[in-house]
Amino acid sequence: MPPKDIRPQKASIPSRLRLGLLKAWRVIPKAITAVATLAGLLGWDYLRPKIEIEPYASTDPTHPFSQQFFVHNDSAYSIYNVEPRCGFPSDSGFLAKSVSVEVQDERMEKLESGAKTTLTCSFGTDPIKTPLKIHPWVVYKDPFGINRCYWTSFIGKPGEDGNAYVWTFHGAHSSCPTPSDD
């Protein structure tokens, strides 16, 4: 007669419970990955900079460069060292081409979340009767100290009555413009 095995026997787990645990073990990592991905995407959307530049007033509608734009910080946080600028692409239709002008008087140390400031593309010119293209843009730092930039493109045309200049949105970018950007 062979010797009796005196080692403790493993407790037997019922097969249904074992299958359930195996399935859960396979699903749990996938569920954690899905939740983490969703949280990351929502966090990115919440933390990414949200800046808008829109025309809002003109001190003299017959002069295209009397247009004022607002810079709106729609981010969840304040932005810092805000520097409004007005750029002219190579196809601007104006004498100034492939240049940007910083608007010194409109610089701000801090633009709170939800706040607006003014950006003026102001040049003393006679009334212009041709279409123009400009790039109002802003350089700033986010709360982490990272330099960022946001710029827009507007095409301006004299109104049908010849007494007003109308600016139309023509795109936005979250990288700084270069002279070749149109």
Q: What is the CATH number of the domain that holds 86?
A: 2.60.40
**In the chain, % of residues over pLDDT 70:** 70
One domain, residues 99 and 160: yes
Longest dimension (CA), the chain: 117
Residues 113, 155: one domain?
yes
At 79 the pLDDT is 94
Do 65 and 154 have their domain in common? yes
Which residue has tokens 């002219």? 88
- Determine the Cα–Cα distance for residues 51 and 67; give it in Å rounded to an integer: 19
Residues 6+ positions from 152 with CB-CB distance below 8 Å = 53, 135, 136, 137, 169, 170, 171, 172, 173
- pTM exceeding the 0.75 threshold for the entire prediction: no
Question: 178 lies in a domain?
Answer: no
- Best CA proximity match to 94, nearest among 132, 55, 43, 127: 132
Residues 67 and 107 in one domain: yes
Q: How many domains does the chain have?
A: 2
pLDDT(96) > 70: no
pLDDT score at 179: 45
Give the mean pLDDT of the chain.
77
Q: Domain range spanning residue 25? A: 14-47
Predicted pLDDT of residue 64: 65
pLDDT one-digit tens code per residue, 15-68? 777 777 777 777 778 888 888 887 777 777 677 888 998 887 776 666 666 678
CB atoms within 10 A of CB 14: 8
Confirm whether 9 is domain-assigned.
no
Instruction: Note whether residue 23 is domain-resident.
Output: yes
Q: Are 152 and 137 in contact (CB under 8 A)?
A: yes
- Domain shared by 60 and 84, yes or no: yes
Judge whether 5 lies within some domain: no
What does the alpha-carbon distance between residue 116 and residue 52 come to, in Å, rounded to a whole number? 9
Is residue 38 domain-shared with residue 105, that is, in the same domain?
no
pLDDT at 144 over 80: yes
Q: What is the per-residue pLDDT for 100?
A: 64
Q: Please, what's the b/e burial string for 132-161 (b: 16 or more CB within 10 A of its CB; e: otherwise)?
A: bbbbbbbbbebeeeeebbbbbbbebbbeee
Q: Are residues 55 and 41 in the same domain?
A: no
> Which pLDDT belongs to residue 49?
86
Would you state the pLDDT for residue 128? Answer: 66
Could you tell me if 133 and 147 lie in one domain? yes
Q: Are residues 140 and 60 in the same domain?
A: yes
Q: Do residues 34 and 102 both lie within one domain?
A: no
Range 109-131 average pLDDT: 79
For residue 121, the one-letter residue type is C
Q: Same domain for 74 and 121?
A: yes
pLDDT at 182 over 70: no
With cut-offs at 50, 70 and 90, classify the pLDDT of residue 155: confident
Question: Averaged over 126-153, what is the pLDDT?
Answer: 84
